[in-house]
Structure 1
Amino acid sequence: MESGTKHRFHEFFAGSGLVSCGLSDSFRSVWANDVNERKARVYRANFDPQVLHVGDIADVKGSKLPAASLSWASFPCQDLSLAGNIEGIYSERSGLVWQWLRVLDEQGDAAPRVICLENVSGLVSAHNGEDYRHLHQALVNRGYAVGAVLINASHFVPQSRPRVFVIGTKGPIPSCLSADGPIWAHTTTLQRVASTIDGFVWWNLPKPERRTQNIDDVVERQVPFDKDEVAALIPANHLRKLETSGREYATGYRRTRHGKQVLEIRCDGVAGCLRTPAGGSSRQYLVHQDERGVHARLLTTREVARLMGAPDNFELPGTYNDGYFAMGDAVAVPVAKFLSDRLLTQLVEAAYAV
């Protein structure tokens, strides 16, 4: 598909633009918004800078947006995350999704007929599913047929990153895109919430092929290990796990257990879920085992980008923290591509068929 014939989409809470990267085979962003200048520098370095509008979503006027067929919104997760305070979807940060809905309303009949929202799994588990039910009903009230799936990026990249994707359409749904009931992308928690919602759409997606890449494949091997004092924090039982795994590399986060700092590692070839580097325990370490012992260092920004599925030519301007921040608060590229290829493109084409 030539760039001129790609479907147009709006990119809310665009961050560093990894969604645009993932959707690029079939979609092009014609308008993007984010409030964070650090992420905006990364976006501008990789995409058309004129597309991005930096500022508060509360100041966005839907009537001023260019025409588009898809609206994507990766709204803030802090108030829905198990790592946060779980204040819910009406709180200050995660509640910005209602501003997105306001913008959608202001577009009137020109509003995109297909929508996709992304957030952490807490969207369906917090408050016994009430947060999700409120959002779902708000979309239904606006004429969308809606369902949700939960996809872990670990199907595609060596990082555990489960995320919920809420997808809606105002157009016909091709029979191959919906199922009669849950599939692999509907967890028990999601099924429980869906069972309380009339008309929930069970989106049908083929299960991804088995991932072949592991943590070893993203490592920049020329980077020295300079945090042996952190490696010394690995508990004895975790060291035994590393030794018996036979793996050269593992990843870990610092934790406080019983008043003591430890480095808890996982040795299954998959990194833990990346976070934004807000504090000392939010940066993930790479652990290396060789004949001289066990060593540690922080993941590099390029390793973090690879764990998000970003290509190696994806530019990460700024400091280490800037790059880590841009990647740790984003959508994994191959997950966005998978949804585009297997669901969103077909829904848009059906919704806008002449």
Structure 2
Amino acid sequence: MILQRTMYKKQNIDLSAAPWTMHEFFAGSGLVAYGLKGMFSPVWANDISEQKAAVYEANFGDDHFELGDIKDINGHNLPFAHLSWASFPCQDLSLAGSIGGIHAARSGLVWEWLRVLDEMDTPPKILLLENVSGLLSTNGGDNYRTLHMALVERGFNCGAIVLNASHFVPQSRPRVFIIAVQRNCKIPKELMGDEPCWLHSKTAADLGRSLPGWIWWKTEKPPRRHKTLKDIIENDAPFDKDNVLRLVPERHQAKLDEHELVYATGYRRTRHGEQQLELRFDGIAGCLRTPEGGSSKQYVVVKKNGETHARLLTVREAARLMGAPDSFVLPGSYNDGYKAMGDAVAMPVARFIGERFLTKIAEAVYDD
């Protein structure tokens, strides 16, 4: 690990040229910072994972990155920033996780983020929190209500939007983004509506109608995506998992048999006590996960020239599904790289939010 960090250290991407600055909590592999390049320069970033830190430092250097537990961070020691971005842990809010809730050990680290903000001499006037869609729906919506009210009590108005990475890359990855702005600040009128729009799921809309200080964020839809799963495939990667094809259920095998050329992805799932490899045929991958268990790794199934073969998704393919360019360095093992991508924010999603919302808000808030 240490050797690989040293090897890649000179391949740093310069993030310093930007009109605004940001704190990057739970920074992971840095795809948020990369997506906001030229808009918000990270003056301080933090994560507890050594593997993710290796990816971050290999691409962006370590001059502003602090490896360690957020519980040890003191807000008084942080430099001033215009924006605080926090992609806090999702395990206790994910339907695939334990659903321990907003006060559980991992997702509850969001309260440490708020503590750090409270300790700052001059906290940012713009905040962004990112998490899985379960933040809105679990515990009858109370997990989000609790967090929303904590922001309101600190003098912020905010609203949650749901944005799927599939608008930009061939991966189904819906995520919740809470954009919060200090209450006494002016927000551009074109960014606010008075009712739900395409950015709001039914759950988000229901919450918005019942909560004080809610902002109905709005913007136009991005252009239609043209890239499909076939476009991100590494054609020279060896197929070495053909044994999992026996787990393909009959209904999915029938779909494979219908076509001469197929690019599909799938996860292993247990149905009625039996393992199955459930495939999707819509030209996009399923949502990337972290690789702790075997069922968390996504398979690629390709049918071509009368033959069907299977293998695991490569780390580079995972990076492409997150919108990272092939120049993005991924040091470490397969699991290190897969985790770095599976836990990240898709780069073009961060860019979209930066261009459509955060820069416009910053111009209004800080140039006022």
Which TM-score band (shorter chain)?
over 0.9
The corresponding residue for 1:178 is 192
Are the structure 2 counterparts of residues 75 and 150 from structure 1 closer, same or farther at C-alpha, using a change threshold of 3 Å? same
Cα distance in structure 2, aligned partners of 1:242 and 1:199: 50
Among residues 20, 23, 32, which one is paired with 1:10 in the alignment?
A: 23
Are the structure 2 counterparts of residues 144 and 246 from structure 1 closer, same or farther at C-alpha, using a change threshold of 3 Å? farther
The corresponding residue for 1:85 is 98
The corresponding residue for 2:140 is 128
The corresponding residue for 2:52 is 39
The 5 A counterparts of 1:81-230 are 81-108=94-121, 110-170=122-182, 171-230=185-244
TM-score, scaled to structure 1:
0.97
The corresponding residue for 1:76 is 89
Deviant stretches of 4+, over 6 Å? none
Query: Is residue 285 from structure 1 mapped to residue 260 from structure 2 by the alignment?
Result: no
Cα distance in structure 1, aligned partners of 2:233 and 2:358: 33
Task: Give per-residue Cα distances to partners, 1:267-289, cap 9 Å, x unaligned.
Answer: 00010000000111000000010
**Unaligned segments of structure 1, at least 5 residues:** none
Cα distance in structure 2, aligned partners of 1:247 and 1:163: 31
Cα distance in structure 1, aligned partners of 2:91 and 2:212: 29
Task: Give per-residue Cα distances to partners, 1:304-348, cap 9 Å, x unaligned.
Answer: 000000111000000111000100000000000000000001111
What is the CA distance between 1:291 and its match in structure 2?
3.0
TM-score, scaled to structure 2:
0.93
What is the CA distance between 1:255 and its match in structure 2?
1.1
Among residues 263, 269, 272, which one is paired with 2:277 in the alignment?
A: 263
What is the CA distance between 1:145 and its match in structure 2?
1.2
Cα distance in structure 1, aligned partners of 2:208 and 2:140: 12
What is the CA distance between 1:60 and its match in structure 2?
0.3
The corresponding residue for 1:66 is 79
**Unaligned segments of structure 2, at least 5 residues:** 1-14
Task: Give per-residue Cα distances to partners, 1:85-133, cap 9 Å, x unaligned.
Answer: 111000000000000000000013x100000000000000001111101
Q: Quick check: 1:247–1:267 contact (8 Å CA) kept in 2?
A: no
The corresponding residue for 1:330 is 344
RMSD: 1.2
SS of aligned partner of 1:49:
coil
Query: Is residue 314 from structure 1 mapped to residue 328 from structure 2 by the alignment?
Result: yes
The aligned amino acid for 2:27 is: A
Cα distance in structure 2, aligned partners of 1:107 and 1:245: 59
What is the CA distance between 1:189 and its match in structure 2?
1.1
Aligned residue pairs, count: 352
